[in-house]
């Protein structure tokens, strides 16, 4: 009988990380990005430095057409560009944890991020996001 709480905890943890939840998370991120995609009017490929106090870490982005991939600190990046607007979904261990909506202004990507996908542009649910293009020196 003493093992019952441990058994129940194990079952609940397994259910929380079920393949269906991962698939729903992936589908939500990909649907959000697909809905935001458009014709890119810029190129965000290259190295970027974190400009916030959140300590995301540095980014390395690769852009092909309007599709963006790469890394931002410990996160893998999937994203799209529409005009000069950039939409990023950040994942680790195949789970999308954060989403970003930013505007490319020359050597700066500035916008907001929030936990989950899609980004929540509601006061109190989003935070400033800033990357600066790393100098080529």
What averages of pLDDT result for each successive group of 10 residues across the chain (137 residues)?
49 62 93 97 96 84 98 97 98 95 96 88 83 81
Residue 99 CA: distances (Å) to CA of 1, 4, 84, 137 = 44, 38, 17, 30
pLDDT reported for residue 126: 87
pLDDT reported for residue 12: 47
Report the number of distinct structural domains present in the chain.
1
Q: Is the dihedral of CA 117, 80, 102, 53 positive or negative?
A: positive
Q: Mind giving me the DSSP string for 20-40?
A: HHHHHHHHHHHHHHHHH---B
Q: What's the CATH code of the domain at 117?
A: 2.40.128.30
68 burial (CB, 10 Å; 0-12 / 13-18 / 19+) is buried
Question: Within the chain, what is the greatest distance between any pair of CA atoms?
Answer: 66
pTM: 0.84
pLDDT reported for residue 2: 54
For residue 121, the enclosing domain spans 4-133
């Amino acid at each position: 009988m003493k093992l019952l709480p441990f058994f129940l905890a194990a079952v609940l943890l397994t259910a929380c990380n079920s393949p269906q939840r991962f698939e729903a998370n992936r589908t939500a991120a990909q649907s959000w990005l697909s809905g935001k995609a458009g014709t890119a009017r810029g190129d965000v490929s290259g190295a970027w430095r974190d400009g916030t106090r959140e300590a995301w870490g540095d980014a390395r982005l690769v852009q092909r057409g309007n599709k963006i991939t790469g890394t931002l600190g410990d996160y893998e990046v999937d994203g799209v560009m529409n005009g000069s607007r950039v939409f990023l979904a950040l994942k680790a261990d195949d789970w999308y944890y954060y989403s970003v909506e930013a505007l490319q202004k020359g050597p700066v990507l500035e916008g907001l991020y929030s936990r989950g996908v899609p980004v929540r542009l509601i006061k109190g649910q989003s935070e400033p996001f800033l990357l600066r293009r790393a100098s080529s020196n």
